[in-house]
Amino acid sequence: MKPLIQPRRVRALVSVLSAAAAVAGAALLVPRPAQAAGTLGAQAAASGRYFGTAVAAGRLGDSTYSTILDREFNMITPENEMKWDTTEPSRGSFNFGPADQIVGHALAHGQRMRGHTLVWHNQLPGWVSGIGDANTLRSVMDNHITTEMTHFKGKIYAWDVVNEAFADGSTQHRGSVFQNVLGNGFIEEAFRTARAADPNAKLCYNDYNIENWTDAKTQGVYAMVKDFKARGVPIDCVGFQSHFGSGGPPASFQTTLSNFAALGVDVQLTELDIAQAPATAYSNTVKACVNIARCAGITVWGIRDSDSWRSGENPLLFDGGGNKKPAYDAALSALAGGVPYGGDGSPTPTPTPTPTPPGNGGCSVKYTISSQWGGGFGANVSVTNLGDPVSSWTLTWSFGAGQQVTQAWNAAVTQNGSAVTAKNVSYNGSLATGGSTSFGFNGSWNNGSNPVPSNFVLNGTACTTG
């Protein structure tokens, strides 16, 4: 994604350059005018995919810009208009005007929308960055996600729920206000909150420098997605920004897309641009997508070279005058090959994990302290049902050192003395045999110790702990 100010992106691009040395069942249910044969959008649609572009509201009045936009592209991503600094510049005060302008244009021209982006460390108002209390930040994050998604409900095909959460060259998360205050669980909570806000939108994780399969950052994101799918965390797609140097994608790019798709998620090229726009590099990039059944589509990050955040590198398919470049023809030709898109256009149901043999029934609980500070802590609880399927659940336990639950998510938690009761919420009550769910909470502790409970009971049956 392209921020208004680019210092971090420039550093990311250096890494990319050195490394380099479509869709059915849309949420936007509007009639689509026929695109002329031989356009990028029409050619992508022939295999069930989309071909989109990033759009700035301020450029929609440019006739050359808007003519190309409406002729060539059938998916739109707002460049900056849905980011936090625009949509909620002060706490609880939302501004959707610029984004509404883009969404209105899309509706009028039969184009679909990608929402970009809900939780990101960049382009974040200072009032958010300055929050140091976990309860406050969690409430603010959840409210922002819910309010923005509710405003655009039914108009967004897919959301970039969390953006660029992993550190460069690492399998670990980058430092951010969300990571530093809420811990590793903030990504999962963001996705669960997003699913509750709009069950019909696809939910994506989006990042850069995850195109090369052997890179540590790629492996970190892959491990997260694999874990989310195994535990029933709602994630439907992974966005590969694909800001490439002149050499184009790494040799392993198609392997990377294939491996992620095998986890049961769609893959999308979300911010494609290639330095100097070599025709072969664009052809290879598009082919890597259309050769993967679950590659849903491609978005280029801008229309003309003059619109690009990398304008000095002429990385797009149209020159500054709006003329097609050789890379355009290469991309158009590559779209005609490959295999049909294999997703159904709707959020991907997370498959039930392979059932654990039920034996005599029972359950298993994993209780983890995710963070701890003076007088407080955060905990994650993962529950696996080893008995018969259930349509609702209640988990109980007792604290042994005076701990008190102060706030919970993904479960309704009450406490009476040391006894704690957690009940499912609307979207996570069903647990098949071998099925798992998880929730989290913040708590207080004052006795100098914070021991892990061991007396968990699920629907009246004692659980083992691990």
Distance CA 401, CA 398 (A): 9
**Under a CB-based contact definition with an 8 Å cutoff, are residues 461 and 362 in contact?**
yes
DSSP one-letter string for 97-143: HHHHHHHHHHHHTT-EEEEEEEEESSS--HHHHT---HHHHHHHHHH
Q: Is the peptide bond before 117 cis (omega within 30 degrees of 0)?
A: yes
Note whether 428 and 232 are within 8 A (CB): yes
Place of tokens 């950052």: 217
Report which residue type is found at 441: F
| Helix, strand, or coil (residue 296) | strand
* Cα distances (Å, whole numbers) of residue 334 to 43, 146, 206, 277, 378: 9, 39, 24, 15, 49
Count the Cβ atoms, other than its own, within 10 Å of residue 110.
Answer: 16
> Could you confirm whether 313 is annotated as catalytic?
no
Q: Which of 164, 189, 211, 313 is catalytic?
A: 164
Tell me which residue of 117, 55, 57 sits closest to 83, measured CA to CA: 117
Taking alpha carbons only, the member of 156, 146, 142 closest to residue 107 is 156
110: left (phi over 0), alpha (psi -120 to 50) or beta: left
List the alpha helices (DSSP H) in 308-439.
326-335
Q: Record the tokens describing residue 307, joined without a space.
A: 């619109």
Which residue, among 147, 160, 163, 56, has the nearest Cα to 96 in the 3D structure?
147
189 is annotated as an active-site residue: no
Contacts 24+ apart (CB under 8 A), 422-428: 422/381, 422/394, 422/395, 422/396, 423/392, 423/393, 423/394, 423/395, 424/392, 424/393, 424/394, 425/196, 426/196, 427/192, 427/195, 427/196, 427/199, 428/192, 428/232
- Contact assessment for residue 26 and residue 185, using Cβ atoms and an 8 Å cutoff: no
> What residues are annotated to the active site?
164, 271
